[in-house]
A and B are shown apart, each in its own frame.
Chain A
């Protein structure tokens, strides 16, 4: 894992120090709220519905046990004993006091973490595949590329006041678990016909009010062209992007309004100017970064205990079948620790859970922990032989739920329980859906099904990409939930289609239940997933299940 250089360290400390003084000046009255707000946002501090919220970056979702323990300490000392992991691989504290935030930032700096550029119209936390460095299907570990981009984008003087926020994601595998097509710039590590490794660059993806799937801007870039090229993209966007209307300010709209070809021409012209300015130091830096992402010292062990447990313990077997993925090493596995026990808030982990995860990562996981954009925790390197002991330790802590990829593995944004922008709640809808299907004991029977819930049109809960997406709205002063069907956050990325009129708060869970029951009736056999059945049949039978009255009326 990358370690901060002296430069990184002193930069982060200086920012904390500046912020401490800014808070003092706000409290003394020397700064007005209008003056202070952009300063606090630059440091990841929002004022939400009930309290401040501090958003801490977890670059490319990678965190070590030492850092995880510090996140737990911060939760206990200055918050309410838990943290909320988000779809952007960040962690949020929902209850900090303004006067405590400088100390929290110092405590983060102690473990090489910060909240810089987790807000504002800047390049945000660079996200990556949470299986990076472990996935069996990977061309190359995307984290060194993500780290290079992180260093380049941090405090980049030209890009502190972009027209709007700017999100980058990197994947090293065709399965694209980083949803690169839903980012302002998505970077895919690919191999060309000659077998060389380089980058495909996608542009203009994004969800929100106008969901758009990213398009290919450059099909193949040699490694050394990446930074000048991405710099050219952001630079063109910085001048071309609209600043008159914040709903039209993202690069997806710039691309739409100017045309992808025009955007490409401008980027290439800018790239031609920038490329000679990159002397190659970035490549030296990249090689240095790459050298810090060493392969863990994989061990050999007798896997008999694993087979014994797998064959005799159905609960363990169910967890392995659901939450454990193949690793590039034959005897290793990637473990998804669900932080979505039925009825819990998706993405929340208590400080005790964080500390346990840190301990288990040291004991069984080569000190490596990831946060996934699906709001779960990943131990990317676990030997098969250690799975029974790992599961036995997770289960009593409420971390052993076998639901990865299933109906209760719901993405939900904070919604109107916390977020000042929300138009409806998201968390209790997720809690009730999970609880209901747990009662029905149908979750495993239903199989892979992704439900994603957003509490407003900004779509932080990725509802457009849910096989079943739910969007909470305010309709004439009451909460109303719109359903979209057929979304897919996989490599091809499909935006879901709105099913019809929305449902009241107390009608949304029954509506989802009707939908899922219809799927169970309609599927060819248990191997046909919800999404496959939807694609085969179209939306008519699903709409009929959602709106039985209108079917009766039409008949």
Chain B
């Protein structure tokens, strides 16, 4: 039996900086998970993933990551996606220093 579809976001790494990026509703790439497009329909999710895969000059290794609707937008459901969204725990590097650029 097919598993019920759970909400997803399209995520990848930016080709130049390597930073974690997400596909937003308007088709742009954003660095903040909360600004990503939360996909609740499997067909939509696959279509948007395909859209991401046609942009190899921006996005590397695009995939669908589980996410849930949070107060401010999509939120991670697994700790790996939580760390990807936040950056490393030992220094305030990566997203923690780049919040203002979002």
Q: Which residue of the partner chain, among A47, A95, A97, contacts B60 with CB atoms under 8 Å?
A: A47
Cβ A49 vs Cβ B84 within 8 A:
yes
Cβ B56 vs Cβ A50 within 8 A:
no
- Does B83 count as interface, using CB distance less than 8 angstroms? yes
Q: Which residue of A lies closest to B97 (CB)?
A: A80
Q: Which residue of the partner chain, among A32, A51, A52, A428, contacts B56 with CB atoms under 8 Å?
A: A32
A residues 486-511 near B (Cβ < 8 Å) are none
Min CB gap B17→A, angstroms: 6
* A47 / chain B contacts, CB cutoff of 8 Å: 13, 18, 60-61
Cβ A51 vs Cβ B80 within 8 A:
no
A32 and B83 alpha carbons, distance in the complex (Å):
28
Cβ A29 vs Cβ B57 within 8 A:
yes
Count of chain B residues with a beta carbon within 8 Å of a chain A beta carbon:
25
A427 and B79 alpha carbons, distance in the complex (Å):
15
What string of 1s and 0s marks CB contacts (under 8 Å) between B57-101 and chain A?
Answer: 100110000000000000001111001100111110111000000
* A33 / chain B contacts, CB cutoff of 8 Å: 56, 60-61
Q: How large is the interface on A (under 10, 10 to 19, 20 to 34, 35 or more residues)?
A: 20 to 34
Cβ B19 vs Cβ A51 within 8 A:
yes
Q: Which residue of B lies closest to A479 (CB)?
A: B79
What string of 1s and 0s marks CB contacts (under 8 Å) between A80-101 and chain B?
Answer: 1000000000000011011100
- Does B20 count as interface, using CB distance less than 8 angstroms? yes
A101 and B16 alpha carbons, distance in the complex (Å):
10
> DSSP majority for the B interface?
loop
Given contacts A98-B16, A98-B18, A477-B78, whether A50 and B61 have CB atoms under 8 Å apart is: no
- Does B15 count as interface, using CB distance less than 8 angstroms? yes
A residues 97-143 near B (Cβ < 8 Å) are 97-99
A residues 389-432 near B (Cβ < 8 Å) are 416-418, 425, 427-428, 431
Min CB gap B21→A, angstroms: 11
Q: Which residue of A lies closest to B82 (CB)?
A: A416
Min CB gap B25→A, angstroms: 24
* A175 / chain B contacts, CB cutoff of 8 Å: none
Cβ B83 vs Cβ A98 within 8 A:
no
- Does A48 count as interface, using CB distance less than 8 angstroms? yes
- Does A478 count as interface, using CB distance less than 8 angstroms? yes
Q: Which 9 A-B pairs have the closest CB atoms?
A: A51-B18, A417-B88, A52-B18, A50-B94, A345-B90, A427-B90, A428-B89, A98-B16, A477-B78
Spell out B's residues near A (CB within 8 Å): 13, 15-20, 56-57, 60-61, 77-80, 83-84, 87-91, 93-95
21 pairs, A vs B, C-beta closer than 8 Å = A27-B15, A27-B57, A29-B56, A32-B56, A33-B56, A47-B18, A50-B19, A50-B88, A51-B17, A51-B18, A95-B93, A97-B18, A99-B16, A416-B80, A417-B83, A427-B90, A428-B89, A428-B90, A474-B80, A477-B77, A478-B79
Spell out A's residues near B (CB within 8 Å): 26-27, 29, 32-33, 47-52, 80, 94-95, 97-99, 345, 416-418, 425, 427-428, 431, 474, 477-479
